[in-house]
Structure 1
Amino acid sequence: MEEWPKHYNPKEIEPKWQQRWLSQELWEKVFRFDEDSTKPVFFIDTPPPFTSGELHMGHAYWVTIADAMARFKKLQGHNLIFPQGWDTQGLPTELKVQYKLGIPKENRELFLKKCVEWTEDMIGKMKSAMIRLGYRPNWEQFEYRTYQPDYRKVIQRSLIDMHSKGMIRMRQGPVYWCPRCETAVAQSEVGYLEKDGILAYIGFPLKDGGEIVIATTRPELLGATQAVAVNPQDERYKNLVGKKAILPLFNKEIEIIADPDVEKDFGTGAVMISTYGDPQDIRWQLKYSLPVTELVDERGRIRGTGFLDGMKVDQAKSKIVELLKEKGYLRKIEKIKHNVLSHTERSDCLSPIEFLVKEQVYIDIVQHKGSLLEEYKKMNFKPQRMAGKLEEWINNIEWDWNISRQRLYGTPLPFWYCDNLHLIPADISSLPIDPTKADPPVGKCPQCGLPLRPLTHVADVWVDSSVTVLYLSGFYDNKSRFARVFPADVRLQGTDIIRTWLFYTFFRTLMLTGNIPFKKVIVHGQVLGPDGTRMSKSKGNNVSPMDRIDEFGADAIRMTLLDASLGDDFPFKWDTVKGKKLLLQKLWNASRLAYPFIHGRKVEKPKYFHLLDQWILAKHKEFVEKTIQAYENQDFFVVLSMLYNYFWETIADEYLELIKHRLFSEDESAIYTLNRIIKDLIVLIHPIAPHITEEIYSLIFGDRPTILMETLPSVEDLVSDEKAVRLGESVKKFNSLVRTNKVKMRLSMNSQIKVKIEGPKQFLDDIKLVEDDLKKMLKITDITYGESEQINAEITPV
């Protein structure tokens, strides 16, 4: 018989199982998706993380959820599509290559080659950390990179199909522009951040004499001002509507117009309409057909003024305030906190957004809002409130999706265009394609006859990642798989990408297939720092799952991450992980106790069950049924809660102690019951704590190479015996009273005692039925009984 170590050592045991799960044998027997199998398919659409090289706690969270879900479905008998992709293209990698490696963007081929090398290095680091957490997706069949040719082909094909539906066009107009990243961005990538600012009160002379004072947070855009607007209900300005004001410093006449969108109570109630300071300026420019002045360039510098040219926006703001004061136009300055539209989708940017006039490629979205608001209801959400967040985003969409990015490391948009901005798509047979390196499919524009030139823009990264379901299901290249597995069963993601990855996948899949992309959307919350705030390196509360994984083990980290209701944010604390490791040690100890009695033995079901075994099997039935239901609902925290209540408090603390004497006397009822509960326990806990359960399974049972070849336990043969459950509760109460009294009297648990127990008749009758077991467990030489309304126990040392 093997030596069973006293202490569970995750540092030693976990990597062993991680390598076994990656073995050729288990890949073929367990993890491979079988195209020909008749088993039910379960398809999980997992997030392709950006390849930063660092697996942070947020990654660890969804990795753990996905892996637990997949292992449960394996045990349930499903044939899994469990992918892992990598969101490989994007500006952060470009910046690393440009500045860390010193590769100039002008050397395009070398630059892109180094981007790919950097990406692969980052993937290697992240993948190693994922594996160390026990994550076992289908690397062999469904690992993908968004830059690879077969994935890029799907991206480009989807764009060409949308173009053929009349949904993609090129046009010139104002775009969200990030001067720091030097690229256009989409509405989904921007948001408002509260920042310190100023409110400048500027006197605009009136052509006919007098002045109107406007208040602005952006005096640097004075030179792009096309009109002054006031509210038509504002009595202060009714007599000025239609009159001309003179633009200070620029000596330009502009009209005073009335518009109901002007806030009467902000500043002076008179605002300047500049092209462009914010989205409202764009609406007004379109509404009144105002001229456009491009005052800010791609790098956020002022141009076209003479005296401010070349200055960054903040420098120009200070300079123009100084000039306005010098020339007598500045009435006052207020320091304020206000919401500034910023590049929020990238946490390492957060720069203010400018609006520039550019030629960009758009996908129509606004006109489809009605159908999107209907179709999203066909998807189930966990938690349900997350459906409201998607609905809110759809309602808030004002702009079509600008998919053009002024970068190098991205999917080339598969189009050529002419001076009239007509788009000519590539032939499907030529995909994947880079239009800058290939000839167009026709010599001239079929619509107007003008020459064609290649589109040099690359696609927004959400264009890449929004085809994950189409790529994995084989929409374009594997029709039989697509018919069988689409829509995906589950989309797993965080709250932070509802308006990007979730929305764009839903929108694009619906437009291309006419159906929703997934049946269920699971949206998890954010892992916070130990201080309860969002993790950030700058705040010093950033925690990596790798920091203490050798000390506590991946299973304890996984259990900590899963011990929260999905959708809720929660703080990560190593003290909690330590507590979970103690629970795993309890499981190890219980299995170690059971080992000599059930290992290598053919355990037969007894003809009769001892009363205590009847009790525990009734509790076991409840545990198994509720655990399986909790897994079905992805309520992992419920599984963990029941594990504490059932395993720690009932099995480990009570039942095992009660049956030890029967185990040593080879009692068939005790051995069968112990065998059954231990095996069922480790099978059911496996999705959450895969390493320790594999090790216990191999040591005690081990008749298959992995516990994943087992099936979920069935408890149909067990009965919900209310009398047995009542008996068990009486026993737990008795034990607790005796132990508490021993502690109060400073007696060791092995001290022999006499017990006088008082209580209701039913309680006393229960105790009498198992008196012999209780005496042996608690070292009691004699028990005397007395009826009473209250339950009390007195003990006397022997």
Structure 2
Amino acid sequence: MEEWPKHYNPKEIEPKWQTIWLTPQFWEKVLKFDENSEKPIFFIDTPPPFTSGELHMGHAYWVAIADAMTRFKRIQGYNVLIPQGWDTQGLPTELKVQYKLGIPKENRDLFLKKCVEWTEEMIGKMKSAMIRLGYRPNWEQFEYRTYNPEYRKVIQKSLLDMHEKGLVKMKKGPVYWCPKCETAVAQSEVGYIERQGILAYISFPLKEGGEIVIATTRPELLGATQAVAVNPQDERYKSLIGKKVIIPIFNKEVEIIADNAVEKEFGTGAVMISTYGDPQDIRWQLKYNLPVTELLDERGRIKGTGLLDGTKVEDARKKMVEILKERGYLKKVETLKHNVLSHTERSDCLSPIEFLVKEQVYIDVVEYKGKLLEESKKMVFKPQRMGEKLEDWIKSVEWDWNISRQRLYGTPLPFWYCDNSHLVPAKEDSLPVDPTKTAPPSERCPQCGLQLKPVTHVADVWIDSSVTVLYLSGFYGNKARFTKAFPADVRLQGTDIIRTWLFYTLFRTLMLAGDVPFKKVVIHGQVLGPDGTRMSKSKGNVVSPMDKIDEFGADAIRMTLLDASLGDDFPFKWETVKGKKLLLQKLWNASRLAYPFIAKRNLAKPNSLNVVDQWILAKHKEFVDRSISAYENQDFFIVLSMLYSYFWETVADEYLELIKHRLFADDLSAIYTLSRILRDIIIILHPIAPHITEEIYSRLFGEKETVLMERLPSTDDIEVNENAVRVGETVKKFNSLVRTGKVNMKLPMNASIRVKLSAPEKFLDDIRIVEEDIKKTLKITEITFNKGEEPSVEIIPG
């Protein structure tokens, strides 16, 4: 027989199977999505990661989840559609090309060419790491890049359809603006970060004499102040409502107005409304139709003051405080920690957000909040609380979706516009189109007759990735697949993109296809550093899945990542991976032991089974049935927990020891039972640990080319014999007592002994049933039976 190595070597075995899985023959026979199959479809929409070139632990986590889910579904007999997309058109790539490669944006064609080259290089690195983790999506049919013409055509067609429904408009107004990235961003891309700041107390002279003191964190925006607001219930200021104040330095008169949104307890209870310091300023400007002063440029520099022009915001803040102090308007300055609206969606930016007045392209969202809340309830969430997170976000949306981005490397918005802000869409047969390089469908605006100009902005990247489910299901171009595959069975994603990828996909799919995009949404938590905090290069706690993959193997890493309840954050530690590898080695050892007795044997179930075999099959039935149920609910940690309690603690530590002598005696009951439970364990574990299970399966069984061609084990034929179960548990208790006794007497486990057993009569009877098996297993020459209240043993050497 073929030699079976003593140690499992993942560095050698895992790449072997990865190579096999990538062969055209394997794809054709096992993995190909069959458009004409009558099998039920399982369609999972997986996140297209941004092409950074680094496969971080968060990527590895969803890769492990997606691969485990789809391998399980293949074994269950489904026709599986598992894609792998790449989110290619991001600002970080532009910055790399601009600064690392030194390609100027002004050379547009060369710049875009280098962006694509950089993207492909990064995809190559990430794809290699995914493959090394054992991930096997359908590269051949469903790998996509968001910059590819075929995908871009779908993006642009979706925008034309939304425009036809009256959802896409061009309008001028305040936008969230990132001065560092020099582009507009959407509400979903910003969040609050606590920062150190100042609170400047400024004296505003009243026109009729006296003063009102205002505390502000943004003194640099003094020149853009359009009004002063106080709370109408604030007794300090009731007499001042409607009066005029003079803006210090700028000598501009504005009115004191009353509004309930003013916090009486903050600062002095009086605030300046500037265009624009924060979202509340925008609300007030719209509510009271206040004038607008544009005080900042695209790079976050002051303009139009004559005092601080060209100065960055941070420096302008300090200088304005100095000027106010010199001219006697500054009462005092306090330092404080406060929440600052920042570009949080990009972790390498986190720059404070400003508000600029821009003409941008928007998609109407706010008016559909009620519909989104109602329809979102049709989707099942795992865990359930994640549905509440989506609902909370929908309720918080205040602004329509600004989809314009002032960049180059992105999907061109397929529109032209006139000076009246009328949008004119491209013709469908011209897609994909770049309006900057293509003549408009007509020279003049059909609505007002003005000259048309191309929209030069590119689309927000969430415009690209929010049509993944429509693209993959065949909404545009493959109606037969769409009828079968839509809605997708599962959307898999992290908590961090609920308000972006999930929200926008739900919104766009509802508007375009008239239904929710998914039956179920599976949302995983974040993988933390070993110290239990979010991984960060600055903290030095970043762990890559590739760091020790050759040492511990992909299977052990996958088991570590999947051994957590979905939705929870958890720390990643190599010590845990080491423990998972020990479990795999235990499986390897058990299979190696069984190899001479069961390899390639076609074993029928005997007419009668030994009581010990009946006991283990009852435990096995529980393991198989609970594991299948756990897979259906994506509770991978339950499968792994049971693998420890059932396989390691019961099969490996107890059952195998009890049947060794029967194996050597060619006892068919023991050989059949061992063969059955090992085959089932291998099939059950395969989705989580695919490499070692393929290797063991090929050595022990190998009737089929791969575990993926097997079907889930059935336990319908296992009749649970309660007497056998009781005997088995009695044996476990007795074995534990004897082994503990040997340890206490410092005797080796293979030392011959005599045993005096005291126990209740039922316990004694159970041991008598399997006395010969126990004697041979534990090297016992004689057992003396005595009736007692609690089981106990006295061990006598010899």
- TM-score, length basis structure 2: 1.00
CA distance in 1, matches of 2:764, 2:356: 84
Q: What is the CA distance between 1:252 and its match in structure 2?
A: 0.8
Check conservation: 2:614, 2:720, Cα contact below 8 A: no
Query: 1:457: which partner in 2?
Result: 457
Query: 2:196: which partner in 1?
Result: 196
CA distance in 2, matches of 1:784, 1:139: 66
CA distance in 2, matches of 1:149, 1:7: 49
Q: What is the CA distance between 1:363 and its match in structure 2?
A: 0.4
CA distance in 1, matches of 2:408, 2:521: 33
CA distance in 2, matches of 1:333, 1:615: 78
Query: Unaligned regions of 5+ residues in structure 1, if any?
Result: none
CA distance in 2, matches of 1:98, 1:501: 27
1:606-665 alpha-carbon deviations (Å, 9 max, x no partner): 111000000011111111100000000000000000000100000000000100000000
1:523-542 aligned within 5 A: 523-542=523-542
Query: 2:728: which partner in 1?
Result: 728
Q: What is the CA distance between 1:580 and its match in structure 2?
A: 0.2
1:166-203 alpha-carbon deviations (Å, 9 max, x no partner): 00100000000000000000000000000000000000
Q: Which amino acid aligns with 2:19?
A: Q
Query: 1:294: which partner in 2?
Result: 294
1:553-607 alpha-carbon deviations (Å, 9 max, x no partner): 0000000000000000000000000000000000000000000001122212111
Query: 1:660: which partner in 2?
Result: 660
CA distance in 1, matches of 2:765, 2:506: 63
Q: Which amino acid aligns with 2:324?
A: L
Query: 2:493: which partner in 1?
Result: 493
CA distance in 1, matches of 2:308, 2:85: 47
Query: 1:554: which partner in 2?
Result: 554
1:18 partner SS: helix
Q: What is the CA distance between 1:793 and its match in structure 2?
A: 1.0
Q: Which amino acid aligns with 1:198?
A: I
RMSD of aligned alpha carbons: 0.5
Query: 1:167: which partner in 2?
Result: 167
CA distance in 1, matches of 2:554, 2:489: 27
CA distance in 2, matches of 1:405, 1:712: 49
1:382-531 aligned within 5 A: 382-531=382-531
Q: Which amino acid aligns with 2:237?
A: Y
1:779-794 aligned within 5 A: 779-794=779-794
Higher mean C-alpha deviation, range 722-731 or range 735-744? 722-731
Q: What is the CA distance between 1:720 and its match in structure 2?
A: 2.2
Query: 2:739: which partner in 1?
Result: 739
1:246 partner SS: strand
1:189-233 alpha-carbon deviations (Å, 9 max, x no partner): 000000000000000011111100000000000000011100111
Q: What is the CA distance between 1:442 and its match in structure 2?
A: 1.5
Higher mean C-alpha deviation, range 552-561 or range 702-711? 702-711
CA distance in 2, matches of 1:525, 1:721: 42
CA distance in 2, matches of 1:602, 1:229: 86
Query: 2:76: which partner in 1?
Result: 76
Q: Which amino acid aligns with 2:314?
A: D
Q: Which amino acid aligns with 1:143?
A: E
Q: Which amino acid aligns with 1:748?
A: P
Higher mean C-alpha deviation, range 574-583 or range 592-601? 592-601
Q: Which amino acid aligns with 2:741?
A: N
Q: What is the CA distance between 1:760 and its match in structure 2?
A: 1.4
2:377 partner SS: helix
Q: Which amino acid aligns with 1:472?
A: L
Higher mean C-alpha deviation, range 725-734 or range 581-590? 725-734
Percent of aligned positions that are identical:
78
CA distance in 2, matches of 1:725, 1:194: 59
2:436 partner SS: helix
1:317-362 alpha-carbon deviations (Å, 9 max, x no partner): 0000000000000001010000000000000000000000000000
CA distance in 2, matches of 1:232, 1:278: 21
Q: What is the CA distance between 1:391 and its match in structure 2?
A: 0.2
1:547 partner SS: coil
1:252 partnered with 2:252: yes
Show structure 1 runs of 4+ deviating over 3 A. Answer: none
CA distance in 2, matches of 1:327, 1:610: 99
1:681 partner SS: helix
1:259-274 aligned within 5 A: 259-274=259-274
CA distance in 2, matches of 1:110, 1:677: 61
2:15 partner SS: helix
1:408-447 alpha-carbon deviations (Å, 9 max, x no partner): 0000000000000000000111111101111111121000
CA distance in 2, matches of 1:140, 1:723: 53
CA distance in 1, matches of 2:30, 2:216: 65
Q: Which amino acid aligns with 1:686?
A: H
1:187 partnered with 2:179: no
Query: 1:638: which partner in 2?
Result: 638
Query: 1:176: which partner in 2?
Result: 176
Check conservation: 2:600, 2:702, Cα contact below 8 A: no
- TM-score, length basis structure 1: 1.00
Check conservation: 1:229, 1:257, Cα contact below 8 A: yes
Q: What is the CA distance between 1:759 and its match in structure 2?
A: 1.3
Q: How many residues align?
A: 798
1:705-784 aligned within 5 A: 705-784=705-784
Query: 1:671: which partner in 2?
Result: 671
Q: What is the CA distance between 1:794 and its match in structure 2?
A: 1.1
Check conservation: 1:621, 1:719, Cα contact below 8 A: no
Check conservation: 2:363, 2:400, Cα contact below 8 A: yes
Query: 2:150: which partner in 1?
Result: 150
2:256 partner SS: strand
Query: 2:33: which partner in 1?
Result: 33
1:43-442 aligned within 5 A: 43-442=43-442
1:16-58 alpha-carbon deviations (Å, 9 max, x no partner): 0001000111100111000011111000000000000000000
CA distance in 1, matches of 2:589, 2:212: 82
CA distance in 2, matches of 1:602, 1:115: 57
Q: Which amino acid aligns with 2:278?
A: D
2:747 partner SS: coil
CA distance in 1, matches of 2:762, 2:312: 84
1:28 partner SS: helix
Higher mean C-alpha deviation, range 471-480 or range 595-604? 595-604
Check conservation: 1:42, 1:80, Cα contact below 8 A: yes
Q: Which amino acid aligns with 1:418?
A: C
1:581 partnered with 2:581: yes
1:47-77 alpha-carbon deviations (Å, 9 max, x no partner): 0000000000000000000000000000000
1:221-253 alpha-carbon deviations (Å, 9 max, x no partner): 000001110011111111111111111011111
Q: Which amino acid aligns with 1:360?
A: Q
Q: Which amino acid aligns with 1:433?
A: V
Q: Which amino acid aligns with 2:694?
A: E
Q: What is the CA distance between 1:719 and its match in structure 2?
A: 1.3
Query: Unaligned regions of 5+ residues in structure 2, if any?
Result: none
CA distance in 2, matches of 1:336, 1:796: 76
CA distance in 1, matches of 2:77, 2:386: 30
1:102-151 alpha-carbon deviations (Å, 9 max, x no partner): 00000000000000000000000000000000000000000000000110
Q: What is the CA distance between 1:785 and its match in structure 2?
A: 1.1
1:48 partner SS: coil
Q: What is the CA distance between 1:726 and its match in structure 2?
A: 1.2
CA distance in 1, matches of 2:724, 2:176: 68
CA distance in 1, matches of 2:718, 2:607: 14
Q: Which amino acid aligns with 1:261?
A: A
2:476 partner SS: coil
Q: Which amino acid aligns with 1:614?
A: Q
Q: Which amino acid aligns with 1:354?
A: E
